[in-house]
Amino acid sequence: MFNVALIAPSSADERRRIAAVDLRVRVHDAWELFAPELVADWPRQTLDWYLPPRFRQLASSATERDALLAEADAICITFPFPTRLLARAPRVRFIHQLPAGVSNLQRGDLWQAQVPITSGRGAGNTLAIAEWAIAATLALFKELPKAARQAGQMDRRAYRARQVAGKTLGVVGLGGIGQQVARLASGLGLRVVGSRRSAEQPVEHVERVYPPSQLPDLLGESDVVVLATQLTAETHHLIDAAALRAMRQGAFLLNVARGELIDEPALIQALQSGHLGGFASDVYVGEFEHQPPAELTAFENVLLTPHTSGMTDQASNAARALFRENLRRCLHGEPLLNQVDWSRGY
């Protein structure tokens, strides 16, 4: 028997699909079972954003949770997740995280684990997130955040909208999201440049690919910059005061990755000085603990959303299909897909 613990929302149909991977598989729906632990492990902000309100009233036995983990051969988690898993799962063969970004794992005992950890990188709602980036780009160029803040008194002379076509968009991180951003941007007539580790490999719809060491060059030629890279030790505060100075006067900055990619005090200063023309982000520093800083939300050229860029009315099963494929591979002794490389941080 191969026990699979699902600490993530799942439908009966999805559980049947997992069980169908192999006759040895036994699926255990543990999402609600771990509700008390999730409520205890995570800040109120995280609970309000990511868990059903009813989770605060659910009760279960710690003994039952420990017993389930003790017999688990594979575990599938989402965000948020139980922060203490490894010590209670001595026979686990691999753990799969449905979300793409793994920086959240630093909060628990899975970070740099010896047990294989796999992620949903490239299998998430990349198109929806790219659409958000394009929508935010259009909103900033056309000064729509300013219009949204009007209190009934319109002043036509206050607007300085710009044309989008013909401008340059820089994508920092040409993974699944970044490549979708490039494709959509090129369709609007934007010239696209980007950066990635493997800069020698061409990327469709991207005119030039820079290595990370040439980030200032990308920033200096871009009218709008989209951050779509993983958060690692190397990319923490990737956009600092020096990087912001390297950007064109009046350029826009967008973030669909992690808030910690940006030095927030430096960002606020760049907005105050007028060097940065506008900022749009689906994330911010400490988003799982508190609301965004009031200094940031006060600007009329700033657009913030609460980590909703991946929301869509189109059902996607790609991240769960990836888990099923890894389950099959594990059972047959094959290499796992998307295994986290801790030296890279994703």
**CA of 144: how far to CAs of 36, 161, 251, 274, in Å?**
42, 9, 16, 18
Whether 258 is catalytic = yes
Q: Which one from 121, 258, 320, 324 is the annotated catalytic residue?
A: 258
Q: Which one from 64, 207, 234, 289 is the annotated catalytic residue?
A: 289
Whether 275 is catalytic = no
Q: Which one from 17, 107, 307, 329 is the annotated catalytic residue?
A: 307
CA proximity to 172, closest of 124, 122, 143, 206? 206
Q: How many CB atoms lie within 10 A of CB 302?
A: 21
In whole angstroms, what is the distance from residue 211 CA to residue 64 CA? Answer: 50
Please enumerate in sequence order all residues whose Cβ is within 8 A of that of 114, keeping only pairs 6 or more positions apart, or say none.
none
C-alpha triplet 337, 338, 344: angle, nearest 5°: 140
**CA of 97: how far to CAs of 81, 216, 230, 249, in Å?**
9, 33, 15, 40
Whether 289 is catalytic = yes
The first and second tokens of residue 20, run together, are 């169908």
Instruction: Point out the residues that are catalytic.
Output: 258, 289, 307
